[in-house]
Amino acid sequence: MSEIKIGIVGAGAVGGVIGALLSEKGYDVEVAKRYNSDIVLDNYVNLEITGVFGSKNILVKAVNGVNGFTTKKDVIFVLTKAYDAPEVAKQCLPHLTDNGIIISSQNVMNVEEMINVVGSDRLFALIINWSAVRFNKATMEVTRPGNMIIGNFGDKSAKYLEVMKRILSNIAPTEISNNIIGDIWCRTIINSCIGSVGALTGLNLGKSMIFPTTKHIFVNIIFEAMSLAKALNVAVKNYGALNYYEFTKRGFKAFLYRRKMLRRLKKQNGHFVSSCQRAIENNQKSEIDYLNGYFVKLGQKHSVSVPTNKRMFDMVKEIEKGERHMMLENLMDYYLLHPKKYLRVLKINKEV
């Protein structure tokens, strides 16, 4: 049994699985539901976990909201959407012990905002490579196995990495990253490709990649993002077998490599539906600001042209506002096919 007190905010599929499996291993876990709901069994909820991590029913302590935590926590996992995470982290700070830390799920880039709230020495990033879906408030299925990667942003917090690796390894194999920014960039790039195209078309990855335009968009997004990485001296990690540096080389050999990697991406993730697409379909805000929007912001700040990312960002925003429909025809947008001409339009409108 561990004496470490753990809080989890954002008890969706991933948060539910983490809370349940750590509770099963004897850790003192409280799940904070963000919205008031009925808590049964004397402030416990029965979470049912199915799928590749096995089938089990686990009782987990649950409270209504962060302010419902019954004790101060040594670790609080913030597993909300990227745009909610900074405000949620701010609410969590009074509920941390003096040496407590916040671990934020990072498959998109909101690190700067989180550090501004939490501070670099108290913030850890967690990249989750397994997938889960929630069927109702208390049933989660782990649909795909995978590991986890944890990293830190401040020198003083390095001593906690081994502790958190040991704890998280109770859920799935966990490794420590010595370049967590490069790991987050890696996923932000690929999620910018998949997320924006899914939001534009309403198609899963496999169906959207039937069309050559999708591959053209993917290539442009990656080239632009890697131009930014070079300007900022960011060492971008590989996404599985995908080496972004090999992908963005010039020449026929690199062309063949890109074609091979895009085929592999389609084959391995063909049924994947992007979170941006799901959010828009559910009339919710997407995380596009922290995907293509992140590269647009950096491009403006450092005078690096990213016209394809800018056009994708603008079109998804139009869909969110109801000014454009989610449909396949969006792939034939003139400025997506001619990003340099869109760059001229942006310069005329002084949006560079």
With contact defined as beta carbons under 8 Å apart, do 59 and 44 qualify?
yes
168-203, pLDDT tens digit by residue? 999 999 999 999 999 999 999 999 999 999 999 999
Whether 151 and 86 map to the same domain: the answer is yes
Among 155, 178, 201, give the residue marking a domain's end: 178
Domain boundary among 148, 178, 208: 178
With both helix axes pointing from N to C terminus, report the angle between 307-320 and 339-348 in degrees, rounded to the nearest 10: 80
Q: What are phi and psi of 76, to 5 degrees?
A: -125, 125
Specify which of 134-148, 260-274, 308-322, 336-350 reaches the highest per-range mean pLDDT: 308-322
pTM score above 0.85: yes
Statement to judge: residues 319 and 216 lie in one domain: yes
Domain that holds residue 259: 182-348
pLDDT at 350: 61
User: Of the candidates 99, 71, 108, 75, which has an alpha carbon nearest to the alpha carbon of residue 89?
Assistant: 75
Q: Across residues 329-349, what is the average pLDDT?
A: 85
Give the bridge partners for 49, in sequence order: 56, 140
User: How far apart are the C-alpha atoms of 99 and 108, rounded to whole Å?
Assistant: 26
Residue 34 has phi, psi (to 5 degrees) of -75, -20
Structure confidence by residue, pLDDT tens digits, 249-274: 999 999 999 999 999 999 988 888 88
Nearest 5 degrees, angle CA 172-CA 86-CA 10?
Answer: 45
Domain final residue pick, 178, 213, 232? 178
If asked whether residues 217 and 201 sit together in one domain, one would say yes
CATH code of the domain in which 318 resides = 1.10.1040.10
CATH of the domain at 39: 3.40.50.720
Domain count, the chain: 2
Whether 318 and 285 map to the same domain: the answer is yes
- Bridging pattern class, strands 139-144 and 131-136: antiparallel
Looking at the structure, tell me whether residues 136 and 227 fall in a common domain. no
Same-domain check for residues 186 and 146: no
